[in-house]
Amino acid sequence: MRTKLATRAAAVTIVAAFTLAGCSSGGGSSQNNAAQVDRTLQLAITAPPSNFSIGNWSGGDATLFNSVYEDVLGFGVDGKVEPGIAETWEYNNDRTQLTLHIRKGMKFTDDTPVDAQAVVASLEVARKGASTSQNLSAVTSVKATDGSTVVVALSQPDAALLPSLASTVGAVGATKVLTAESSKLEPVGSGPYVLDKSQTTVGSTYTLVRNDGNWNAKAYPFKKVVVKVIPDATAAQNALRSGQLDVLPAAGTKETVAQFPQSQFTTGENKATAFGALWIVDREGKLVPALKDSRVREAINLAFDRDSIAKNLTGPGSAPTNQVFSPSGQAFSKDFLSKTPFDLDKARKLMAEAGYADGFTVTMPSTPVSTTFESTLTQSLSDIGIKVKWETVPFQDFYPKVFGGNYGMFFMYNGYSGSDAQDVKASLSGIFNPNQNTTPELQKLLAAANSASEADQGAAFRAVNNYLVEQSWNAPLNSTSGYYVASNKVKYTPPVSYGQNVKPYAPADSK
To other proteins, the closest distance from the beta carbon of 58 in angstroms equals 5
To other proteins, the closest distance from the beta carbon of 42 in angstroms equals 10
Whole-number Å distance between alpha carbons of 55 and 386? 42
Which of 54, 161, 171, 431: binder of other proteins (CB under 8 A)?
431
User: Quick check: 50 binds other proteins (CB under 8 A)?
Assistant: yes
Residues of this chain, 102-121, that bind other proteins according to CB under 8 A: none
Q: Residue 333 in contact with residue 489, Cβ under 8 Å?
A: no
| Closer of 137 and 330 to other proteins (Cβ) | 137
Determine the longest span between alpha carbons in the chain, in angstroms: 70
| Closer of 144 and 377 to other proteins (Cβ) | 377
Cα atoms in the Cβ-side hemisphere of radius 13 Å centred on 129 = 25
| Closer of 67 and 131 to other proteins (Cβ) | 131
Which of 330, 366, 466, 471: binder of other proteins (CB under 8 A)?
366
Nearest to 214 by CA among 370, 406, 85: 85
Residues sharing a CB contact under 8 Å with residue 511, sequence separation 6 or more, in sequence order: 29, 32, 33, 491
To other proteins, the closest distance from the beta carbon of 135 in angstroms equals 8
User: Quick check: 179 binds other proteins (CB under 8 A)?
Assistant: no
Site string for other proteins, 302-341 (x = CB under 8 A): ------xx-xxx-x--------------------------
Q: How many residues bind other proteins (CB under 8 A)?
A: 75
The DSSP code for 96 is -
Q: Which of the stretches 12-20, 101-109, 115-123, 343-351 binds other proteins when contact is defined by CB under 8 A?
A: 12-20
Residues sharing a CB contact under 8 Å with residue 66, sequence separation 6 or more, in sequence order: 23, 167, 168, 171, 191, 500, 501
Find the angle CA(322)-CA(325)-CA(329) to the nearest 5 degrees.
130
Q: Residue 172 in contact with residue 190, Cβ under 8 Å?
A: yes
Q: Which of the stretches 154-162, 230-238, 459-467, 490-498 binds other proteins when contact is defined by CB under 8 A?
A: 230-238
Which of 40, 92, 259, 443: binder of other proteins (CB under 8 A)?
259
| Closer of 47 and 219 to other proteins (Cβ) | 47
| Closer of 137 and 466 to other proteins (Cβ) | 137
Q: Which of the stretches 69-77, 189-197, 394-402, 469-477 binds other proteins when contact is defined by CB under 8 A?
A: 394-402
User: Quick check: 437 binds other proteins (CB under 8 A)?
Assistant: no
Which of 32, 92, 145, 375: binder of other proteins (CB under 8 A)?
375
Nearest to 266 by CA among 505, 91, 11: 505
Residues of this chain, 450-509, that bind other proteins according to CB under 8 A: none
User: Quick check: 363 binds other proteins (CB under 8 A)?
Assistant: no
| Closer of 360 and 395 to other proteins (Cβ) | 395
To other proteins, the closest distance from the beta carbon of 238 in angstroms equals 4
- DSSP, collapsed to helix, strand or coil, labels residue 278 as strand
Q: Residue 275 belongs to what H/E stretch?
A: strand 274-280
Indicate the burial class of 117 (C-beta count within 10 angstroms; 0-12, 13-18, 19 or more).
middle
To other proteins, the closest distance from the beta carbon of 209 in angstroms equals 18
Q: Residue 148 in contact with residue 87, Cβ under 8 Å?
A: no
Beta-ladder partners of 411: 278
- Output the DSSP codes for 347-360: HHHHHHHTT-TT-E
Whole-number Å distance between alpha carbons of 60 and 399? 17
Q: Residue 79 in contact with residue 96, Cβ under 8 Å?
A: no
User: Quick check: 360 binds other proteins (CB under 8 A)?
Assistant: no
Q: Which of the stretches 172-180, 341-349, 427-435, 456-464 binds other proteins when contact is defined by CB under 8 A?
A: 427-435
To other proteins, the closest distance from the beta carbon of 252 in angstroms equals 8
Which of 235, 287, 337, 463: binder of other proteins (CB under 8 A)?
235
- First-to-last C-alpha distance (Å) of the chain: 32
User: Quick check: 76 binds other proteins (CB under 8 A)?
Assistant: no
Which of 400, 438, 439, 447: binder of other proteins (CB under 8 A)?
400
Phi, psi of 9 (to 5 degrees): -55, -40
Site string for other proteins, 120-139 (x = CB under 8 A): ----------xx-xxx----
User: Quick check: 13 binds other proteins (CB under 8 A)?
Assistant: yes
Other C-beta atoms closer than 10 Å to the C-beta of 99 total 15
Q: Residue 419 belongs to what H/E stretch?
A: none
| Closer of 92 and 155 to other proteins (Cβ) | 155
To other proteins, the closest distance from the beta carbon of 369 in angstroms equals 10
Residues of this chain, 181-220, that bind other proteins according to CB under 8 A: 184-185, 201-205
User: Quick check: 18 binds other proteins (CB under 8 A)?
Assistant: yes
User: Quick check: 344 binds other proteins (CB under 8 A)?
Assistant: no
Which of 38, 111, 146, 394: binder of other proteins (CB under 8 A)?
394
Q: Which of the stretches 32-40, 107-115, 391-399, 486-494 binds other proteins when contact is defined by CB under 8 A?
A: 391-399
Q: Which of the stretches 330-338, 389-397, 416-424, 454-462 binds other proteins when contact is defined by CB under 8 A?
A: 389-397
Cα atoms in the Cβ-side hemisphere of radius 13 Å centred on 420 = 26
Whole-number Å distance between alpha carbons of 184 and 178? 9
Q: Residue 187 in contact with residue 68, Cβ under 8 Å?
A: yes
The DSSP code for 31 is T
Whole-number Å distance between alpha carbons of 268 and 33? 22
